[in-house]
Amino acid sequence: MERLLVLIRHGQSEGNANHLFTGWNDPELTPQGVFEAEAIASALGDTRFDIAFTSSLRRAQHTLQIILHKLGQSELTTVESPDLNERNYGDLTGLRKAEARSLWGKDFVDRWQRSYDLAPPEGESLRDTSARVVPYFITRVLPCVLSGERTIIAAHGNSLRALVMVLEQIDPGQIATMEISTGTALLYKMNADGTVCGKRTYPSPVI
């Protein structure tokens, strides 16, 4: 039995292009973001999926729609959930990153952005994000994968970081070095016990 899980970070959004803390704001994809989604679909080739999951935010939904359309699978059963949403950046939401650093200081903003357990004012830490993403994955998504349903998730940088930490058993202390760029696909092959037995990344990571 093939147990396939594909994680997709949405293509570039208007928030990404403008260097904003986007969080739960809901901008659309840029033309570059559309191109990135189409490139992922081309990389997936003739891969067939049985079920799809995405967040409640348009940039992830649109990315998934582009990919499935290009794969000829637009009618695929798709489940949307806010549990897969991007991290809530609280008071940083909508601010340019340079503007946030001028208000709170570079050290604070960088620590909020990259650490595991520090949250910006009125926002979520990555640990908080994990607390909603991981249970949803375990109860709703993983049973599909383990039953042999080829599964694709289109979500966000931080919600996917939370999943990758669990799938690859990465220590929270190493999380600051993890980056998932827009338009990235992570393809996992899973064992029957939910552990990973193989991984491919598109585009190939720079070494």
The answer to which of 38-52, 60-74, 101-115 has the lowest mean pLDDT is 101-115
Residue 204: pLDDT band by 50, 70, 90 thresholds? low
Give tens-digit pLDDT for 49-81: 999 999 999 999 999 999 999 999 999 999 999
The residue type found at 93 is: T
- Is 10 known to be catalytic? yes
Query: Residue 190 has which token pair?
Result: 């899973």
Q: Which of 10, 62, 124, 156 is catalytic?
A: 10
- Mean pLDDT to the nearest integer, 2-8: 97
Q: Which of 62, 86, 124, 156 is catalytic?
A: 86
CA distance 55 to 167: 19
Pick the CATH number of 4-202 from 3.40.50.1240, 3.30.559.10, 3.40.50.2300, 3.40.190.80: 3.40.50.1240
- Mean pLDDT to the nearest integer, 141-152: 98
Nearest-Å Rg of the Cα atoms of the chain is 16
Could you tell me what percent of the chain has a pLDDT over 70?
98
- Mean pLDDT over the full length of the chain: 95
Residue 207: the pLDDT is: 39
As a whole number of Å, the end-to-end CA separation of the chain is 33
Q: What are phi and psi of 47, to 5 degrees?
A: -60, 130
